[in-house]
């Protein structure tokens, strides 16, 4: 497969991933699919407000996707200039997907903001940052490994499962975006150095 066709494939693959990130982040604004909580941002998980899926995994991926896909449509290996620019756009995509990955990971590890049943809105599962910095691992005491702890959140209903699923979707999509953008940086480098790879036609008598 030549670098142009590879770029076209990568660009086309980034569109649905960016769309999924945007949609997942938007849905996170409505815990348990209720609009009442979005009116008070103190009741939303902070990482949702960082817009990792909308800005990072969404908008900052769409721009590279458009350029990379267009570059792939210009021929077998497109052109050197287009491939060089695709490296820059892919680097932008790496930044965006990386941002989405970090924010979503923090949202997943620290858990949602919820009412513990007393009217007190807190983050009952938040990870000890000092412990996380020392060990660079998620403690086995984390709520992700103990589903029975999820009952500590009374409102919004099933907010823990809601957040876990959507943040997991964001992490998965941003990881794939990150890999694809890194691949395009390598692919773009080859395309920039090698130029077009059109088949040479020879006329025989």
122-143 pLDDT per residue, tens: 888 886 555 444 444 555 677 8
In a domain, 66, yes or no: yes
Assess contact for 90 and 179: CB atoms under 8 A.
no
Compute the Cα dihedral for 167, 174, 53, 41 and give only its sign: positive
Q: What is the reported pLDDT for 1?
A: 54
Domain of residue 90 covers 3-194
Cβ-based neighbours of 202, under 8 Å, separated by 6 or more = none
Q: Look at 67 and 140; give whichever has higher pLDDT.
A: 67
Domain assignment present for residue 204? The answer is no
Distance CA 41, CA 48 (A): 10
Tokens linked to 157: 């209903």
Q: How many domains does the chain have?
A: 1
Euclidean distance between CA atoms 22 and 194, whole angstroms: 36
pLDDT tens per residue across span 18-28:
999 999 999 99
What's residue 119's pLDDT?
A: 83
Whether residue 56 has pLDDT greater than 70: yes
Q: Is residue 52 part of a domain?
A: yes
pLDDT at 197: 56
Residue 203 inside a domain? The answer is no
The first and second tokens of residue 152, run together, are 């500590």
Q: What mean pLDDT value characterizes the chain?
A: 84
- Indicate whether 202 belongs to any domain: no
201 within some domain: no
């Amino acid at each position: 497969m030549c670098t142009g066709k590879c770029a076209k494939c990568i660009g086309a693959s980034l569109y649905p991933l960016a769309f999924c990130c945007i949609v997942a982040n938007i849905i996170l604004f409505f815990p348990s699919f209720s609009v009442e909580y979005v009116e008070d941002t103190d009741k939303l998980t902070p990482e949702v407000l960082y817009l990792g899926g909308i800005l990072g995994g969404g908008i900052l991926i769409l721009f590279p996707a458009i350029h990379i896909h267009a570059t792939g449509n210009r021929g077998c290996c497109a052109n050197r200039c287009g491939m060089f620019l695709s490296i820059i756009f892919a680097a932008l995509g790496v930044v965006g997907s990386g941002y989405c990955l970090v924010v979503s990971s923090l949202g997943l590890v620290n858990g949602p903001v919820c009412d513990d049943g007393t009217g007190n809105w807190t983050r009952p599962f938040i990870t000890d940052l000092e412990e996380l910095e020392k060990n660079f691992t998620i403690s086995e005491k984390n709520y992700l490994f103990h589903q029975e702890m999820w009952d500590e959140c009374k409102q919004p209903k099933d907010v823990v499962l809601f957040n876990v699923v959507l943040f997991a979707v964001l992490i998965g999509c941003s990881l794939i975006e990150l890999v694809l953008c890194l691949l395009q940086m390598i692919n773009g480098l080859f395309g920039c150095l090698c130029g077009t790879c059109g088949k040479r036609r020879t006329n025989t008598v």
